[in-house]
Amino acid sequence: MLQAVALRAEADFLTFYQCRFEGYQDTLYTKYGRQFYRDCDILGTIDFICGDAAAVFQNCLIEVRQPLLGQYITITAQERDVETLLTGLVLQNCTLKATPDLEKAGNITMYLGRPWGNFSRTVILQSYIDLLINPRGWIDFEGMPLVRPFYMEYRNRGPGADTKGRVKWAVATDDPKVASSFTVRNFIGGDRWIPPTIPYYLDLP
């Protein structure tokens, strides 16, 4: 259960529909470019959605697997190191939950993500967040100083979606004007390149 990338997505205008990505650490490496994932299953343990693409995930099932003894789980690790880059990870109407074997284990520490770059950016919109998420939500990347990360949650649901105990450097908003900056239309310009055969929300539903 060591680092092993299932997919290294390294191009512009990439679309994945009804795909399944299974791994443990670094399952899906969104290296760069504008990317869109719809109705996909993504499984892993540590930083298993990572990289510095401008990537939007819609209606995806994001399942956390049983880690090695003593490990804690981080779902995302966004890599933006240059503040002017228009990159980041956006999870919209996704389901973030544990696999059945992890649910049975119970006492596992699980976080939504951690900043891999100085200006790391991750946004979770209108998604279901399972109970096993630590109330802090996010965690520092060990050995890396926090410079100016941007971590935002918008109108999520589920037992892990309460933002009252979140880290101070994360943001929770109920403002659709703020959240709309991270839609398919505005964040990746998907209306200009996503194939018409693939369903998607252009804006906030």
Tell me how far CA of residue 87 lies from CA of 3, 22, 56, 158, in angstroms.
Answer: 23, 24, 10, 27
Residue 129, classed as helix, strand or coil, is strand
**Active-site residue, selected from the candidate residues 12, 26, 52, 162:** 26
| Angle 33-61-132 from CA coordinates, rounded to 5° | 115
Question: Is residue 145 packed enough to be buried (19+ CB in 10 Å), middle (13-18) or exposed (0-12)?
Answer: exposed
Q: Length of the chain, please?
A: 205
Active site residue 162: no
Tell me how far CA of residue 36 lies from CA of 7, 33, 50, in angstroms.
Answer: 14, 10, 14
**Active-site residue, selected from the candidate residues 12, 39, 41, 47:** 47
Active site residue 174: no
Residue 25, classed as helix, strand or coil, is strand
Nearest-angstrom CA–CA distance, 98 and 12:
31
Which H/E stretch holds residue 28? strand 28-32
Residue 60, classed as helix, strand or coil, is coil
- What is the set of active-site residues? 26, 47
